Chain A
Amino acid sequence: MKKLLTAMILLGLLGSFTLSAQATPQQDLAEFRDYFKNRFPKTPFNDYINGVYSIDAASREQWEEIEEFPPYELSISKGEELFNKPFANGKGYADCFPNGGIGIAERYPFFDSKSGKVITLESAINTCRQSNGEEPLGWQKGAIADVSAYMHYTSRGNIINVQVPNDPAALAAYERGKNHFYAKRGQLNMACADCHVYNSGNKIRADLLSPALGHVSHFPVYRSKWGGMGTLHRRYGGCNKQVRAKPYPPQSDEYRTLEYFTSYMSNGLESNGPGARK
């Protein structure tokens, strides 16, 4: 009780913008967009899909050169091959997804009322494999990133449209993700929002901090630092570690709901995965 009170008092004291606790997802979304519109008045809405390059002309040019010979191209073609290769039972990925899996990646994640879970595209890929008697793939890089990259590639240009259905369990999942996003964590005591909302556009040492709006649009991503592809949950783990917090396992409820919240906040933007980043 005392803890709760302290937490409430602390929340009440926050001077800067925080999404309020009782707001609906629709209200959250409107506030979130407005915040960035005021913070970066020169950035057109759809440009947020380009991450940090949407607010940094200096590094954008270099990045655009990289995008001319995209380092994720190989991953897309490997992914296409894997996607079209039948499982041992003769079926394939196309049998597990609506529209044969083509042009549907932007519908993920969604809340599944039957299982009470947030279903991410990567989790659906592995469910598909397992229901066809195949071993699941590792979650963070390699084949899963390739299949996801291909599926996202076929969704390029489609509009992100994540729903929070009228189901208390869905709303609760959304709230858990929102809490993770705004809660301070780790020995260094920082929230995702500290870096990607309140200090987006500022420099942490030599790194410019990207706005959280549009964060999910281009995943999976090829990162020079990784020397390869990685999923969104791989990136989450990295950002948790930076603040000396123990990362959660990929596809844990914690990361699925975080993805659910941040994807909802990117509604209305174009899907443009896979992408390339530093």
Chain B
Amino acid sequence: MRQTARIFFTATFTLAALLGALTLASFPATAADGASSVIEKGKAVSVDRKKGNCLACHAMDDGTLPGNIGPPLIAMKARFPDKAKLRAQIWDPTVINPNSIMIPFGRNRVLSEEEIDQVVEYIYTL
């Protein structure tokens, strides 16, 4: 039983890592035009109240009436030199802080993997 569980875990981790690598890798390759439309899409997802609704908790960009539950989203490149860590924070913030009020956007499928990639690209410009 233990053995199977371990194999299962290793397999899922490897798979997750691979998937992560694939999705992350798909962006830098896009042309300049493609990149800016990804950023625009990311912004749209971030401000949409039914999607990211990041403004509920974070001051961000030119967003109006932001909440102040989380830190302002600025200087993301400096704070997250490793983009994968930024993505991980959005995918499931409770990994780092189990008590986080921030929504596990990926784990609970609030956003699709593609939408999360778009959000990452967008806030990486802030």
Q: Are A and B genuine complex partners?
A: yes
Contacts of B110 in A (CB 8 A): 187-188
Q: Does B89 contact A (CB under 8 A)?
A: no
* Distance from B1 Cβ to chain A, minimum over Cβ atoms (Å): 11
Q: In the complex, which residue of chain A has the Cβ closest to the Cβ of B68?
A: A203
Q: Does A36 contact B (CB under 8 A)?
A: no
Interface size bracket, A side? 10 to 19
Give Cα A212–Cα B57 distance, bound, in whole angstroms.
19
Contacts of B104 in A (CB 8 A): 189
Q: Are A16 and B56 in contact, with the CB atoms below 8 A?
A: no
Q: Restricting to A10-42, which residues have a CB under 8 Å from any CB of B?
A: 10, 13-16
Q: Are B65 and A206 in contact, with the CB atoms below 8 A?
A: yes
Contacts of B56 in A (CB 8 A): 204-205
Known: A189-B108, A205-B55. A15 touches B99 (CB 8 A): yes
Point out which of A10, A14, A203 has the most chain B C-beta atoms below 10 A from its C-beta.
A203
* Distance from A244 Cβ to chain B, minimum over Cβ atoms (Å): 8
Of the listed stretches A44-52, A67-75, A104-112, A193-201, name the one at the interface; the rest are far from the partner chain: A193-201
Q: In the complex, which residue of chain A has the Cβ closest to the Cβ of B56?
A: A205
Contacts of B101 in A (CB 8 A): 190, 194-195, 198-199
Contacts of A43 in B (CB 8 A): none
Residue from A13, A198, A206 within 8 A of B98 (CB atoms): A13
Give Cα A25–Cα B99 distance, bound, in whole angstroms.
23
Give Cα A205–Cα B57 distance, bound, in whole angstroms.
6
* Distance from B52 Cβ to chain A, minimum over Cβ atoms (Å): 12
Residue from B53, B65, B69, B103 within 8 A of A199 (CB atoms): B69
Q: Does A84 contact B (CB under 8 A)?
A: no
Interface residues of B, dominant DSSP: loop
Q: Are B99 and A16 in contact, with the CB atoms below 8 A?
A: yes
Q: Restricting to B44-90, which residues have a CB under 8 Å from any CB of A?
A: 53, 55-57, 65-69
Contacts of A199 in B (CB 8 A): 69, 101
Q: In the complex, which residue of chain B has the Cβ closest to the Cβ of A207?
A: B67
* Distance from A15 Cβ to chain B, minimum over Cβ atoms (Å): 7
Known: A13-B98, A187-B108, A188-B110. A204 touches B67 (CB 8 A): yes
Q: Mark B90-113, 1 if CB is under 8 A from A, else 0.
A: 000010011101011000111000
Give Cα A187–Cα B103 distance, bound, in whole angstroms.
8
Q: Are A203 and B99 in contact, with the CB atoms below 8 A?
A: no
Give Cα A22–Cα B57 distance, bound, in whole angstroms.
33
* Distance from B71 Cβ to chain A, minimum over Cβ atoms (Å): 12
Contacts of B108 in A (CB 8 A): 187-189
Contacts of A14 in B (CB 8 A): 98-99
* Distance from B55 Cβ to chain A, minimum over Cβ atoms (Å): 6
Q: Does A202 contact B (CB under 8 A)?
A: yes
* Distance from B47 Cβ to chain A, minimum over Cβ atoms (Å): 11
Contacts of A15 in B (CB 8 A): 97, 99
Q: In the complex, which residue of chain A has the Cβ closest to the Cβ of B63?
A: A205
Q: Are B94 and A205 in contact, with the CB atoms below 8 A?
A: no
Contacts of B67 in A (CB 8 A): 202-207
Q: In the complex, which residue of chain A has the Cβ closest to the Cβ of B109?
A: A187
Given A13-B98, A194-B101, 20 more contacts at CB 8 Å? A10-B98, A13-B99, A14-B98, A15-B97, A187-B108, A188-B108, A189-B104, A189-B108, A194-B99, A198-B99, A199-B69, A199-B101, A202-B67, A203-B66, A203-B67, A203-B68, A205-B53, A205-B55, A206-B65, A206-B67
CB within 8 Å of B: which residues of A? 10, 13-16, 187-190, 194-195, 198-199, 202-207
